Amino acid sequence: MRIVSFTTLYPNPARPNFGVFVENRLRHLVASRQVDLTVVAPVRWPSREVPYRQLRHGIEILYPRFFTIPGLGMYMAPFGLYLAGKRTLSKLLLQGRIDLIDAHYIYPDGVAATWIGRALKIPVVMTARGTDINVLPEYRFPRALIRRALARAAGLISVSAALKERLLALGAPPAKVRVLRNGVDLAQFHVMDCETARAKHQLRRPVLLSVGSLLMAKGHDLTIRALPLIPQATLVIVGEGADATTLRAMAEAVGVKNRVRFMGTLPHEQLPDLYCAADVLVHASEREGMANVVLEALASGTPVVGSPIPGMDEVIAASEAGRIMTERTPEALAAAVNALLAAPPSRAQTRAYAETFSWDATTEGQLAFFRAILATHKR
């Protein structure tokens, strides 16, 4: 099968950690040796630091430029992506390199992909990731385009059962939808010598870890405000974002400045050490599809305290995995963390639980879905 994955959520030299979760899925798809894959990952014009073509982990990535007007990106992006993507995919089609378009993120990426697919008579499969379905349909213009794209797509993939319900509520035909959850690289993330990891980062137990963009929606503020209720704990935060200054000021205001360590953005390959150094990963996000950081922590033997949001109970489904807060408040977060610290599962138990989230089933399901669609498609 000749697959073109179309998405703006993909690493590039300017943003090496951006969209790693999409790259991970595609790397396992390629490893099956059942597909010839090209990634088309449009970037905003001019993006001078990003090449037009790159080979990364053995996958060819093309970075066409698309144009939007600042402040109007939500409305213009599908059209810019369509124009840039159609030019690139038309060339690939002439070269005999496309049987199916695999689009990640429903809006604007998937919407543009369905337009391209219709123009070039190529079937399109779209994957819903989270915000694209949980938030963007609240806006009238994106919602109209999303609903139309769901009807036009040959297939739809959801990374959780909760997101599938959102797709169905938006009018997606049930027969088109498959749930293929994210997996985790069990070789990269595994139980290590935790004392050595803590010594490397000069951390004393108990250690809490929070990984994600420094945005209020990610819930770092809840974790900081809960810290006074978690005796002696150190909080390590990995990430950068627009609310970094606000979060630093909050740590000082609640009297925990000396107990919070902001690490900034780290290369993905440096995370295993920190997962092992942590006693608990806190994931207090207000919305999520299926958080990769949760799976990575579990694979490292680190239990998780997660938000009571749709889909979280699909990941934290047993005591070996951790606990879900009763509500998204500092008090509920602290109660869940303290209970987990008082009676933690063994790292071996948590790791064994995580092994049910290997990429194998996801890759096999994706291949079978693509084959079924191509078997019925007539160009």
pLDDT tens-digit series, residues 156-181: 999 999 999 999 999 999 999 999 99
Cα–Cα distance between 324 and 305 in angstroms, integer?
Answer: 6
Residue 43 tokens read as 């970037």
pLDDT score, position 307: 97
- Pairing type for strands 53-56 and 100-104 reads unpaired
CA distances (Å), 124 to each of 102, 105, 164, 369, 375, in order?
A: 6, 12, 18, 12, 13
Percent residues over pLDDT 70 in the chain: 100
Mapping DSSP to helix (H, G, I), strand (E, B) and coil, where does residue 320 land? Answer: coil
Q: Are strands 43-44 and 155-158 parallel, antiparallel or unpaired?
A: unpaired
Please calculate the CA angle 133-9-40 and round it to the nearest 5 degrees: 120
Separation CA 112–CA 101 (nearest Å): 11
Distance between CA atoms of residues 327 and 165, nearest Å? 22
At 246-298, the pLDDT tens digits run 999 999 999 999 999 999 999 988 999 999 999 999 999 998 777 899 999 99
Average pLDDT over residues 58-62: 98
Two structure tokens written together for 148: 């139309």
Q: Tokens 């949001």 sit at which residue?
A: 309
Least confident span in 56-60, 236-240, 310-314, 352-356 = 310-314
Residue 378 has pLDDT above 80, yes or no: no
pLDDT (tens digit per residue) in 210-252: 999 999 999 999 999 999 999 999 999 999 999 999 999 999 9
* pLDDT, averaged across the chain: 95
pLDDT of residue 75: 86
Count of other CB atoms within 10 angstroms of residue 94: 9
* Strand-pair category, 234-238 with 304-306: unpaired
Neighbouring residues of 187: CB distance < 8 A, sequence distance ≥ 6: none
Residue corresponding to tokens 């963009």? 213
Half-sphere exposure of 222 (CA within 13 A, CB side): 25
Specify the higher pLDDT residue, 274 or 71: 274
Task: Report the Cα 94 to chain-centroid distance in Å.
Answer: 32
pLDDT-based confidence at 92, cuts 50/70/90?
A: very high
pTM of the model as a whole: 0.90
Distance (Å, rounded) from C-alpha 207 to C-alpha 211? 13
Q: What is the dihedral of CA 237, 239, 240, 241, to 10 degrees?
A: -90
| pLDDT of the residue at 290 | 77
Structure tokens at 327: 């509500």
Q: Average pLDDT for residues 343-351, to the nearest whole number?
A: 98
Instruction: Answer yes or no: is pLDDT of 70 > 90.
Output: no
Q: Any residues with CB less than 8 A from the CB of 199 and at least 6 apart, and which?
A: none
pLDDT in tens, 43-56: 999 999 999 999 99
State residue 328 phi and psi, 5-degree precision. Answer: -85, 75
Question: Dihedral of the CA atoms 237, 228, 350, 316 (nearest 10)?
Answer: -90
For 128, 187, 274, 344, 354, the CA distances from 269, given in Å and listed in that order, are 26, 12, 10, 26, 19
Q: Can the peptide bond before residue 46 be classed as cis, meaning omega within 30 degrees of 0?
A: yes
Residue 131 burial by CB count (10 A; 0-12/13-18/19+): exposed, middle or buried? middle
What is the pLDDT, as a whole number, of residue 379?
64
Residue 316 · residue 280 · CB < 8 Å: no
Report how far residue 211's alpha carbon sits from residue 236's, in angstroms, rounded to the nearest whole number. Answer: 8
- Structural domains of the chain in order of their starting residue, each with its CATH number: 2-183+359-376 (3.40.50.2000), 194-356 (3.40.50.2000)
